Structure 1
Amino acid sequence: MSAEPPALPVTFRPGRTRVVLMTAGVAIFVTITVIALLLEQLGPGERLSFVFTAALLAGVLFLLARVKVVADESGVTVQNITSRRRLEWAEIVQVNLRPGDPWVFLNLTDGTSLPALGIQPGIAKEHAIADARALRALVEDRAPRDLP
Structure 2
Amino acid sequence: MPATDRFELPALPTTWAPRRNRLVLLPASAVLVVVFGGMAVVLPASWQLNDRIMLTLLGLVFAGVGLMLARPKVVVDAAGVTVVNFLRTRRLQWAEIVRVNLRQGDPWVTLDLTDGTSLAAVGIQPGGGREQAVRAARGLRDLAEAHGAASEPTTV
CA distance in 2: counterparts of 1:124 and 1:25, whole angstroms: 23
**Are 1:130 and 2:117 an aligned pair?**
no
Q: Equivalent residue for 1:57?
A: 62
**Are 1:77 and 2:86 an aligned pair?**
no
CA distance in 2: counterparts of 1:123 and 1:31, whole angstroms: 28
Gaps in structure 2 of 5+ consecutive residues = none
**Are 1:118 and 2:148 an aligned pair?**
no
Q: Equivalent residue for 1:90?
A: 95
Offset, 1:130: 1.6
Q: Which amino acid aligns with 2:40?
A: A
**Are 1:48 and 2:43 an aligned pair?**
no
Q: Equivalent residue for 1:11?
A: 15
Offset, 1:146: 6.2
Gaps in structure 1 of 5+ consecutive residues = none
Pick closer, same or farther for the CA change 1:30–1:145 going to 2, 3 Å: closer
Question: What is the TM-score of this pair, normalised by structure 2?
Answer: 0.87
- Alpha carbon RMSD of aligned pairs, Å? 1.6
SS at match of 2:40: helix
Q: Which amino acid aligns with 1:110?
A: D
SS at match of 2:87: coil
SS at match of 1:63: helix
CA distance in 1: counterparts of 2:106 and 2:17, whole angstroms: 16
2:112 to 100, 107, 115: 107
SS at match of 1:122: helix
Q: How many residues align?
A: 147
Question: What is the TM-score of this pair, normalised by structure 1?
Answer: 0.91
Q: Which amino acid aligns with 2:142?
A: A
Offset, 1:2: 3.0
**Are 1:32 and 2:36 an aligned pair?**
yes
SS at match of 1:114: strand
CA distance in 1: counterparts of 2:151 and 2:54, whole angstroms: 59
